[in-house]
Structure 1
Amino acid sequence: MLSFNEKLAVMESFPQLERRDVSMGRVNFHYERSVIEKKNVGFHFHPNGNGFIFAGEIDGVDTDEKGFVNIRDYSEEELRSLVQQAIDSLTGDSSWEEGQEEKWFDSDRNELQLKFEDDMWYLFSGLNLEMAFETYEEAREYLREEGFNRL
Structure 2
Amino acid sequence: MLSFEEKLKVIESFPQLERKDVSLRRVNFHYVESGSEKRNVVYHLHPNGNGFVYADKLKEYDTDNKGMVNIRNFSEAELREIIGKSIQSLAPNTIEEKTIAEESVEQEEWINSKNNALLLLQEEGFWNIYAGVNLENSFSSYEEACEYLKEEGFKKS
Q: TM-score range by the shorter chain?
A: 0.5 to 0.7
Does 2:27 correspond to 1:14?
no
- Name the structure 1 match of 2:91: 91
Distance 1:24 1:59 in 2: 31
- Name the structure 1 match of 2:73: 73
Distance 2:45 2:36 in 1: 22
Give the Å deviation of 1:37: 1.1
- Name the structure 2 match of 1:23: 23
Where in structure 2 are there 5+ consecutive unaligned residues?
A: 96-157
Bigger CA radius of gyration:
2
Contact 2:53 / 2:86 at 8 angstroms: preserved in 1?
Answer: yes
- Name the structure 1 match of 2:41: 41
Alpha-carbon RMSD across the aligned residues, in angstroms, is 1.4
Post-superposition CA distance 1:43-94 (Å, at most 9, x none): 0000111010000111221100100000000000000000000000000436
Q: Which amino acid aligns with 1:38?
A: K
Distance 2:49 2:89 in 1: 25
SS at match of 2:16: coil
Give the Å deviation of 1:2: 0.1
Give the Å deviation of 1:36: 1.2
Post-superposition CA distance 1:81-127 (Å, at most 9, x none): 000000000004369xxxxxxxxxxxxxxxxxxxxxxxxxxxxxxxx
SS at match of 2:24: helix
* Count of aligned pairs: 95
Distance 1:54 1:38 in 2: 9
Distance 1:79 1:92 in 2: 22
TM-score (norm: length of structure 2): 0.58
- Name the structure 2 match of 1:111: none
Q: Which amino acid aligns with 2:56?
A: G
Where in structure 1 are there 5+ consecutive unaligned residues?
A: 96-151
- Name the structure 1 match of 2:117: none
- Name the structure 2 match of 1:55: 55
Contact 2:54 / 2:67 at 8 angstroms: preserved in 1?
Answer: yes
Identity %: 59
Distance 2:63 2:94 in 1: 26
SS at match of 1:93: coil
Contact 2:88 / 2:94 at 8 angstroms: preserved in 1?
Answer: no
Distance 2:27 2:54 in 1: 14
